[in-house]
Structure 1
Amino acid sequence: MQEDPFFSWSAYHVALVVVGVIVVLAHWLPRLISKREPAAAPLMILFGAVAGLFVPNMASLPDPRQTPLPWELVSELTVIVALFGAGMRIDNLRPMKRWIPTLRMLAIAMPLTIFAVALLGVAVDGLTIAGAILLGAVLAPTDPVLAGDVQVGPPQQGDEHPVRFTLTTEAGLNDGLAFPFVYLGLIVAAEGMAPQLWGWEWLARDVLYRSVVGVLMGWAGGRVLGYILFTVPKGSILAETASGVIALAGVVLCYGSTELVEGYGFIAVAVLGLTLRRIEQHHQFHRQLHDFTESIEHALTAVLLVALGSVLPVLFADLSWAHVLIALTLILVIRPLSGWIALMRTDLGPRDRAVVSIYGVRGIGSIYYLCYAGSHVEFSNETQLWSLVGLVILLSTILHGFTVGWAMDRLKHV
């Protein structure tokens, strides 16, 4: 019997080495040419694609079109942590006037984006109506994970420029608010384009009930968690232990319980972060908790981006010029134009309005929504959707990632 060679390269260990090398290089290489925070996200995707093509004996990840569950679970956890972190970053909610740009982005820009992308999907790529609605919903939200460079700083830092405040609060809330349109795509795929049969139920259940329950559960969860962390027992409160694990457990508890009562968990965890931040606002635990959750978010994001890059060659096998046209139109025309329209007659100046309109990066949330939809209904356009969404994430991280530092520097000189 022939013995195994001493050096037997397992695919799993090769993958660990590749992921480690890619993450280090993606954060280190930009430092050689710039002192700004490195634009690591696009590099991790690109290096992951190179590794997937050329590294021999590397463990192959499951195709998200065939096996969506692992992708769905990891992206879901990443978005949950990011949404909670976005809520935690906001030091001051008042005056309420500062929320006007956010509300207009949510109420005007996002529906316009969904409609325009869906229309393009039908007209240019020949998608079904259900597939086009899903595409619009998947690509409309600003991603809370990859938009960190344009968000406000950590708690108690005070860097809350109106542009950063708008982009942070938009990213924190629009992931949950895109869910009704995901459900709309699922309903149309299952029952057809017959709103007289399901329209009122969709409005009552998927738009109103789930959203309201998400807000209420997030507020209640924040109050309860704040009570546990800062109030009882007197003289030996949990916040003094600096254990972020307790608060993270509260986040997943809030998310899971909200989903059990059919509310939007994404809305709940964002509201949880906003609510918890109002309790003992000057306590150092808020900064420690933010740093703890941010580290988890960055670790999960790195793994997901490298993984996405490694499967992009498979997803791009079905890429067409129609996909390129739709992706570029979304990033360069639809998002900027819809944002500009939404922010008209607000207090934001032209330069601020332009930055908010342009820097709506797409990313991890889109992966989750597409996996979620694919695990519930079989779409005839699923292959096209994955090719297009993969391209949009790649182009968005490249275009936004390599220019965001310059844009933020320009804001400082206003």
Structure 2
Amino acid sequence: MGTLLLAFAGLLLLAVLLSSLAHRTILSTAALFLLAGFVLGDGVLGVVSITAEDEVVGTLAELALFAVLFTDGMRVGWADLRGAWRLPGRALGWGLPLTLVITALLAHYLIGLGWIESLLIGAVLAPTDPVFAAALVGNEKVPPRLRQLLNVESGVNDGLALPFVMVFLALAAGSRNLHLGELGLELGLGLLIGVAVPWLAIKLEQTRWFSASTAYEPLNALAIGLLVLALGKATHGNLFLAAFAAGITVATFGQRQREAFEHFGELIAELFKLAALLVFGALITPALLGSVGWTGWLFAVLALVAARPIAIWISFLGSGLSMREQAAVAWFGPKGFASVVYGLIVLSSGIAAASQEFQLIAVTIVLSILLHSSTDIVVARWFDDERDVPAWYGAARRLRDRVRQEPTP
């Protein structure tokens, strides 16, 4: 544990020192932590020795996913969803399940996994991560509707994929261990806690007896999140659904609390993300990468270049998006942090196919991080008009526009 903490602290300092460079180039902080975990893990240097059975793996995965779902939910209150639902609705209502199904078909027919295990891996790899499309989302020359689409979709699909992961994981554990009533109670209780706790906390602060100071305002949402986490653990409600519901509830009823917590919350979530990526990388060994065989690598490639693009193409038929916009949405379906944590949950679940599923998930995520984090700037430049044409043509066009604006004698 001490070695893991030392490695994380050193890498975090390095990431901070390189953060300005990373924003201007294809250098990826996520890729840095993933690669460092791989090199420091048992498969290479053996500095960070960790296994799936270690308590830190399950605990870190749980806390990291809770933090990320809470902050994701806080980005998309009901007002945001109602105001920007047309295009994100296609990506979430059609694109997400279609990606899940196509990925499952690949796992079943290419790898030979059973249907339940194939659907589980499809659910794990269905969510997208906005981190690797940062250059695209942050480029003002990219159409606003496209940036909004990617932001809303990636903020919501982690939570939407969660029930599928839980149900398929329960089914994969075997029919003897599956109790749909208990599972439904767990999900329902999580949803109730996630809505009731933040709503009551916000309403209390709005009364004349309570008022948070400016200095403590960012801690309000943190306290709400911790209370939701504690109640979920105590009552065995689903922590992840509770986190996502709590974030949406804060965004819907507490705009002030949302704005005060936004930057602080993103930093907390980022810390957990990077720690989970380090652990995930340490669990990936050269032996694991080699054991998947050519069919495993082919599955990973097709999961990136076929499953998401086909699903997006079908989902956006008749949507009015240009081919360039559809191509950008189709490509930027990177398998990011949610898939990392869902993969860790599958690995530590004890199901018969846990090791094989984790191997396939791992190689797909590794490919995704390397490919998507190194192409976001390139794809973003598609939408930069000044880069799409030669310099002389841009100068000629500006001269033409200036002549047109001059009054005729």
User: What range describes the TM-score normalised by the shorter chain of this pair?
Assistant: 0.7 to 0.9
Equivalent positions of 1:331-342 (< 5 A) are: 331-342=304-315
Bigger radius of gyration, 1 or 2?
2
Question: Aligned in 2, Cα 1:107/1:90: closer, same or farther, shift over 3 Å?
Answer: closer
Offset from partner CA, 1:252-306 (integer Å, 9 cap, x none): 333554577776543443343233234453x4x5344111111111212222222
Separation of aligned partners in 2, 1:273 and 1:408: 30
Contact 1:150–1:164 (Cα < 8 Å) also in 2:
no
Separation of aligned partners in 1, 2:32 and 2:132: 15
Offset from partner CA, 1:196-250 (integer Å, 9 cap, x none): xx9xx86x886x877676555444333223224x41445x612533353342231
TM-score (norm 1): 0.77
Contact 2:159–2:241 (Cα < 8 Å) also in 1:
yes
Contact 2:136–2:380 (Cα < 8 Å) also in 1:
no
The corresponding residue for 1:70 is 56
Among 118, 134, 137, the residue aligned to 1:149 = 134
The corresponding residue for 1:79 is 65
Question: Are 1:407 and 2:379 an aligned pair?
Answer: yes
Equivalent positions of 1:2-401 (< 5 A) are: 12-13=2-3, 15-26=4-15, 28=17, 35=24, 38-52=27-41, 58-61=47-50, 63-64=51-52, 67=53, 69-90=55-76, 93=79, 96=82, 98-143=84-129, 146=131, 149=134, 161-182=144-165, 183-191=167-175, 217-228=193-204, 230-234=205-209, 237-238=211-212, 240-255=214-229, 257=231, 264-279=238-253, 281=255, 283=256, 286-313=258-285, 315-379=288-352, 381-401=353-373
Which runs of 5 or more structure 1 residues have no equivalent in the other structure? 1-10, 154-158, 193-197
Other structure's SS at 2:47 match: coil
- The amino acid that maps onto 2:2 is Y
- The amino acid that maps onto 2:203 is Y
Contact 2:346–2:358 (Cα < 8 Å) also in 1:
no
CA deviation after TM superposition for structure 1 residue 136, in Å: 1.2
Question: Aligned in 2, Cα 1:175/1:130: closer, same or farther, shift over 3 Å?
Answer: same
Other structure's SS at 1:353 match: helix
TM-score (norm 2): 0.78
CA deviation after TM superposition for structure 1 residue 99, in Å: 0.8
Separation of aligned partners in 1, 2:46 and 2:299: 35
- The amino acid that maps onto 2:301 is L
Separation of aligned partners in 2, 1:244 and 1:33: 28
- Count of residues in Structure 1 that have an aligned counterpart in Structure 2: 380
CA deviation after TM superposition for structure 1 residue 137, in Å: 1.4
Question: Aligned in 2, Cα 1:267/1:189: closer, same or farther, shift over 3 Å?
Answer: closer
CA deviation after TM superposition for structure 1 residue 20, in Å: 3.6
Offset from partner CA, 1:316-352 (integer Å, 9 cap, x none): 2522111110111011111122122112233544333
Contact 2:99–2:311 (Cα < 8 Å) also in 1:
yes
Separation of aligned partners in 1, 2:44 and 2:112: 36
Contact 1:315–1:386 (Cα < 8 Å) also in 2:
no
The corresponding residue for 1:4 is none
Question: Aligned in 2, Cα 1:291/1:97: closer, same or farther, shift over 3 Å?
Answer: closer
Separation of aligned partners in 1, 2:161 and 2:379: 27
What value does the CA root-mean-square deviation take over the aligned residues?
3.7
Question: Aligned in 2, Cα 1:412/1:68: closer, same or farther, shift over 3 Å?
Answer: farther
> Which structure is higher in helix share?
2
Contact 1:44–1:306 (Cα < 8 Å) also in 2:
yes
Which runs of 5 or more structure 2 residues have no equivalent in the other structure? 387-409
Contact 2:41–2:282 (Cα < 8 Å) also in 1:
yes
Separation of aligned partners in 2, 1:224 and 1:413: 49
Question: Aligned in 2, Cα 1:96/1:89: closer, same or farther, shift over 3 Å?
Answer: closer
Offset from partner CA, 1:56-103 (integer Å, 9 cap, x none): 572411x22xx1643232122222222222233348835836212222
Question: Aligned in 2, Cα 1:50/1:239: closer, same or farther, shift over 3 Å?
Answer: same
Identity over aligned pairs, percent: 26
Separation of aligned partners in 1, 2:237 and 2:173: 22
